[in-house]
Structure 1
Amino acid sequence: MEPASRTQTGLEKPDRADEVLTGMGASPGNACGPARTVHSIDEFSSVKPGDILVCRTTDPAWTPLFGVAAAIITETGGMLSHAAIVAREFGIPAVLGVTGALTRIRSGTVLEVNGTNGTVRPQPAHPGATP
């Protein structure tokens, strides 16, 4: 069987179409929406309501994005990190410590985030959808 293409899953190096990224479920709940990778505060304006925020880490300057994002995915952090605490305060799911999230997830990829069990699943692209 051929490996899934990047267009099918939105992941840079998928092994298969049903690849699940894992991390620490730091704020419970589920959300589904387009990924928005953000590397710095200069990119904050790219985050739209309902986006899944994907970043390396967060600090207090990132707090306004928690009111816009449907869920948070970070490459670092733990249960007492800024991202975890603020996600719980805002009542949005968060999965932290997802290794290589910024290189493995492309902006626009539709993701299902489970902040209870710490999983991130890319959803199949729909024809005609725009990132």
Structure 2
Amino acid sequence: MSIFSKIKDAIFGHKATPAPADRPQIPAGMDGSTAPAPTPTVDAGPVDVEQVLKEMSAAKGNPDLNYQSSIVDLMKLLGLDSSLDHRQQLADELGYTGDKDGSAEMNIWLHKEVMRQLAANGGNVPASMLG
């Protein structure tokens, strides 16, 4: 799985399927059995990226992370490896063409590009994070 996919999955999450007890039952058939109704597909709309990140930060006790503009802090908040090696891999995935030396320029570009990609994949990203 790509590093961007891990970032996206951590923010967008996975659609939960209701537990069997929460599913409506189809009326009894001729044999007297019941079966769970098909699970409806619900389109919850765009994911509010800023809200999700705020909730994750709060759940972790509001760690002092500048995830709004730092790729390193964003990855830490999401529980991902933020090492230079992983950021270089992310840079390759996203098409960064500059020096992959961990410079501020690379890291700023990575954060902005991750936010642009999240927006392109259905995320609602505030303009302040798109840079």
- Do both share a fold (TM > 0.5)? no
Higher relative helix content: 2
Larger strand fraction of residues: 1
Query: Which has the higher Rg, Structure 1 or Structure 2?
Result: 2
Instruction: Output the TM-score relative to the length of structure 2.
Output: 0.25
* Structure of higher RCO (CA pairs closer than 8 Å, 6+ residues apart): 1
